Amino acid sequence: MSVLDGIAIVGVAETAIGKLPGRSAISLQAEAGVAAVAAAGLAKDDIDGVFSFSGYSQAMMLHAARVAEHLGLRPELAVVTDVGGPGTHHAALLNVAAAIDAGMCTAALCTYGENGISIRRSGRGRAPGTLTGGEDFEAPYGQIAMISGYALFAQRHMHLHGTTSEQLGAVAVTSRYHASLNDNAHKREPITLADHQASPMISSPLRRLDCSLISDAGGAFVVTSVERARSLGVPYARVLGYGAATTHHVPSQAPDLHELGGPLAATRAFERSGMTAADVDAVYIHDACTFSVVAGVEALGLCGEGEGGPYAESGALALGSKCPVNLHGGMLSHGHAGGVFHLLDAVRQLQGTAGQRQVDGAEVVVAHGNGGVFSTFSTMVLGRGG
């Protein structure tokens, strides 16, 4: 038994996504939070724990206390987790589970989101390059953006495994197709492989359409005990298994591709869940770039090591395949405000509320991916609640 067995994700919500002038990150998180509590069938007074992360566009101290103040809450615990990528939200689930188990919380609100577009226009933003940790040995060389860090690994994968730009393009095209099925996606106009190939090079081998978006958006979820969830009468998701792995911080100190933490995190999560990749109905991979999906399907064991490119090109990522990937459109098309939307859409699949992109009868859905530049990995195997 694990404390994670006792929790249920009962409500999810997201704000509009795109360019939202005048909106602070905290206001976006609060808006999503209020909506998530309502979706859970709960009210303000039911929330006695706040778990959050500021995001990087408006990084701040004691962020969860600020969210609590903003929402007029006085919880026992207001806790920030910053693992990077999906690990941030997954680690929050672990914290909530421990808090519920310890009797310190009965219903937690978890809020995320950024204003990456609007903060720059306001002049108050802090360039992510100042937060990436390579200030002495990487930034002086112009390694200041996450995407050029990812490009280093995409290039090596191409060298070792023969992965092509067209295969990465297949990821971008599929993500946009899924976003076209999602009314709330930031970018919904379908794209073709030719569009991908014609998009300008950003950091070789990654083109503009290989890069995730920058969005203003907030997302939130509510967690309570399974027992409480049953009494609420709303559909919910349960944690079946959680695994993680940490290998480095800055790109130059990473191990080689086959030693990155993705397969480790996935193996740990699957072992703890008693599931295998064959049991999974859909996966959500933190797609900072198209290559992240290639690395992700390999890590999850949906294909062999080095075979992620051909796997993407085969059509296996799309709705209708055995295990579709990023049905909300991912950060490549739905929006990027810290990556919480993968977890939210995974929960929707299990609640049966994913609309046009619903996988019929989804029972097991996995959220997976990395923070930093393949620095931390996290895999969360989720199942349909009772």
Q: Name the residues that contact other proteins, by CB under 8 A.
A: 127-129, 134-145, 148, 151-153, 155-156, 159, 200-206, 250-253
CB of 289 to other proteins, least distance (A): 11
Nearest to other proteins of 62, 201 (CB atom):
201
Q: For residue 381, give the nearest of 276, 293, 286, 258 by alpha carbon.
A: 276
Distances (CA, A) of 304 to 180, 263, 301, 308: 30, 11, 6, 7
Alpha carbons 19 and 26: distance in angstroms, whole number: 15
Nearest to other proteins of 318, 332 (CB atom):
332
- Where b means 16+ CB within 10 Å and e means fewer, 74-112 reads ebebbbbbebbbbbbbbbbbbbbbbbbbeeebebbbbbb
Nearest to other proteins of 155, 358 (CB atom):
155
CB of 252 to other proteins, least distance (A): 4
CB of 59 to other proteins, least distance (A): 15
CB of 25 to other proteins, least distance (A): 18
Residues 237 and 383: beta-carbon distance below 8 Å: yes
Q: Where are the beta strands (DSSP E) in 139-232?
A: 201-203, 206-207, 216-225
Nearest to other proteins of 77, 211 (CB atom):
211
Nearest to other proteins of 117, 380 (CB atom):
117
CB of 314 to other proteins, least distance (A): 26
| Residue 26 CB neighbour total at 10 angstroms | 23
Alpha carbons 84 and 64: distance in angstroms, whole number: 16
Q: 103 in the Ramachandran plot: left (φ > 0), alpha (ψ -120 to 50) or beta?
A: left
CB of 211 to other proteins, least distance (A): 10
Nearest to other proteins of 247, 378 (CB atom):
247
